[in-house]
């Protein structure tokens, strides 16, 4: 079996489970993101909700990216990690007054507003502070992202954004909201999108919408196409970096930007997913009637994606080179959904072996919980383990 590179001797001294981040891969990924986006002068905002590990944030910020935040605490974390406030965008259907005030105090670049009432509240709070808030409207383009229904966001049935049908009414209201500056349109159709034709559909929708608005004399400076680029969960060793070249070229070819218009995007998963692995040890091998279980010391509390989204993570036994066998890899939590993978092909496994659950850098550590009163998993960076030893 092909496996990732892991410093197993170093792991011996650490308490499992823990997240392990390969920062060399993160840096390579960021180099490519930077190179490909700069060709077209696109602005990239890292979507913090994928992973807010402060060491990773500092690395990402050091590449000059902006930040896409969905809570006041994420804005705080972004600024503390070195993302400049003038590159912070703030999305979310339920921004509270407290969060809006915090964002106003930081003078962030833009609020991606999702309802008319929200616009009124931002305007009211900005007025109180004597400030002008820059806003973009998050549009629900009714584009199918062809991804798991829990992570599709751009259909009429989803709670996010303004429906195109209601847009005229909202745009008519904005001039009366004197402390808002309407600067752009925002879209985000879903996550883990591997069928790139969904992004092509998005471009068509954005072009149509821009034509309509232009007829009404409205041209906005900023177009934000959100995040959602998928990664290869099946073959992280063969495809460690998402195809940013094709992704950016697709927008360049299909989106008709107007003179002086700036394109923004918000990748989360595609930046951090592949650099992370959840490292766990086999606690027991249990032989059932028709199958055997590898019971590991990580559970759905450490990595909830398989239980929540039926997500697949490649699992490698990094301690064993014995002939492969099949196991149901399960956690210790008292829930039947606490299964990482059924009928998983692993090198012959024993108590104490290390398993790596790959591609766990996005929506992993940050979604950990203390259910069953478990400890939260720790996290280690490859460069620190190797340097500090």
Ligand X SMILES: *Cc1c(COP(=O)(O)O)cnc(C)c1O
- Residues forming contacts to ligand X in the complex (CB under 6 A) are 47, 49-50, 68, 70, 91, 188, 191, 226-229, 266-270, 362
In angstroms, what is the minimal distance from the CB of 285 to ligand X? Answer: 35
Structure token pair of residue 88:
């912070």
Minimum CB distance to ligand X smaller for 159 or for 216: 159
Minimum CB distance to ligand X smaller for 188 or for 314: 188
CB 156 within 8 A of CB 140: yes
Q: What's the alpha-carbon Rg for the chain, to the nearest Å?
A: 22
Taking Cα atoms as reference points, which of 388, 280, 379, 389 lies closest to residue 51? 379
Minimum CB distance to ligand X smaller for 4 or for 228: 228
Integer CA distances (angstroms), 297 to 268, 286, 306, 342, 346, in order: 27, 14, 16, 16, 17
Minimum CB distance to ligand X smaller for 43 or for 68: 68
Minimum CB distance to ligand X smaller for 75 or for 91: 91
CB 135 within 8 A of CB 122: yes
In angstroms, what is the minimal distance from the CB of 270 to ligand X? Answer: 6
Minimum CB distance to ligand X smaller for 95 or for 188: 188
In angstroms, what is the minimal distance from the CB of 293 to ligand X? Answer: 32
How far apart are alpha carbons 19 and 21 in whole angstroms? 7
What sign for the dihedral angle of Cα 80, 83, 86, 91?
A: negative
CB 138 within 8 A of CB 187: yes
Minimum CB distance to ligand X smaller for 100 or for 385: 100
In angstroms, what is the minimal distance from the CB of 67 to ligand X? Answer: 11
Q: What is the 3-state secondary structure (H, E, C) of 40-91?
A: CCCEEEEEHHHCCCHHHHHHHHHCCCEEEECCHHHHHHHHHHCCCHHHEEEC
Minimum CB distance to ligand X smaller for 50 or for 110: 50
In angstroms, what is the minimal distance from the CB of 166 to ligand X? Answer: 19
Minimum CB distance to ligand X smaller for 191 or for 277: 191
In angstroms, what is the minimal distance from the CB of 63 to ligand X? Answer: 16
How far apart are alpha carbons 227 and 115 in whole angstroms? 20
Minimum CB distance to ligand X smaller for 140 or for 301: 140
How far apart are alpha carbons 25 and 241 in whole angstroms? 8
In angstroms, what is the minimal distance from the CB of 294 to ligand X? Answer: 29
**CA angle at residue 212 from 209 to 214, to 5 degrees?**
105
Phi-psi region of 357 (alpha: psi -120 to 50; beta: other; left: phi over 0): beta
In angstroms, what is the minimal distance from the CB of 326 to ligand X? Answer: 31
In angstroms, what is the minimal distance from the CB of 177 to ligand X? Answer: 22
Strand-pair category, 222-224 with 262-265: parallel
List residues bridging with 284 in a β-sheet: 295
List, in order, residues 6 or more apart from 389 with CB less than 8 Å away.
10
In angstroms, what is the minimal distance from the CB of 138 to ligand X? Answer: 7
Minimum CB distance to ligand X smaller for 50 or for 174: 50
Q: Is 282 exposed, middle or buried (0-12, 13-18, 19+ CB in 10 A)?
A: buried
In angstroms, what is the minimal distance from the CB of 35 to ligand X? Answer: 19
């Amino acid at each position: 079996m092909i496996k990732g590179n892991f410093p197993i001797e170093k792991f011996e001294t650490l308490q499992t489970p823990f997240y392990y981040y390969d920062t060399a891969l993160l840096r390579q990924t960021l180099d490519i993101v930077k190179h490909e986006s700069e060709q077209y002068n696109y602005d990239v905002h890292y979507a913090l909700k994928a992973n807010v590990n402060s060491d990773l944030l500092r690395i990402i910020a050091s590449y000059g990216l902006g930040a896409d935040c969905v809570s006041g605490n994420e804005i705080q974390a972004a600024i503390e990690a070195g993302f400049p406030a003038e590159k912070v965008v703030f999305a979310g259907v339920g921004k509270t007054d407290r969060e809006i005030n915090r964002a106003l105090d930081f003078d962030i670049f833009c609020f991606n507003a999702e309802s008319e009432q929200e616009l009124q509240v931002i305007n009211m709070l900005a007025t109180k502070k004597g400030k002008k808030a820059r806003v973009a409207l998050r549009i629900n383009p009714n584009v199918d992202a062809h991804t798991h229904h829990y992570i599709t966001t751009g259909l009429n049935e989803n709670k996010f954004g303004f429906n195109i049908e209601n847009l005229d009414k909202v745009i008519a209201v904005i001039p009366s909201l004197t402390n808002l500056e309407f600067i752009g349109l925002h879209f985000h159709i879903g996550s883990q999108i591997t069928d790139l034709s969904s992004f092509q559909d998005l471009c068509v929708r954005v072009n149509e919408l821009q034509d309509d608005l232009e007829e009404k004399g409205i041209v906005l400076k900023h177009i934000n196409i959100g995040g959602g680029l998928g990664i290869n969960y099946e073959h992280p060793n063969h495809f460690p970096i998402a195809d940013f070249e094709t992704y950016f070229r697709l927008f360049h070819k299909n989106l008709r930007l107007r003179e002086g218009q700036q394109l923004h995007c918000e990748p989360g998963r595609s930046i951090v997913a592949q650099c992370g692995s959840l490292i766990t040890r086999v606690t027991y091998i249990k032989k059932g009637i028709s199958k055997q279980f590898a019971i590991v010391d990580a559970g759905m509390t450490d990595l909830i994606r398989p239980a929540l989204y039926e997500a697949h993570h490649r699992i490698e036994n990094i301690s064993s080179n014995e002939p492969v066998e099949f196991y149901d890899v399960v956690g210790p939590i008292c829930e039947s959904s606490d299964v990482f993978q059924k009928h998983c092909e692993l090198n012959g496994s024993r108590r104490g072996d290390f398993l790596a659950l790959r591609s766990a850098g996005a929506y992993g550590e940050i979604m950990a919980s203390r259910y069953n009163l478990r400890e939260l998993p720790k996290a280690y960076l490859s460069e620190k383990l190797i340097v500090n030893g």
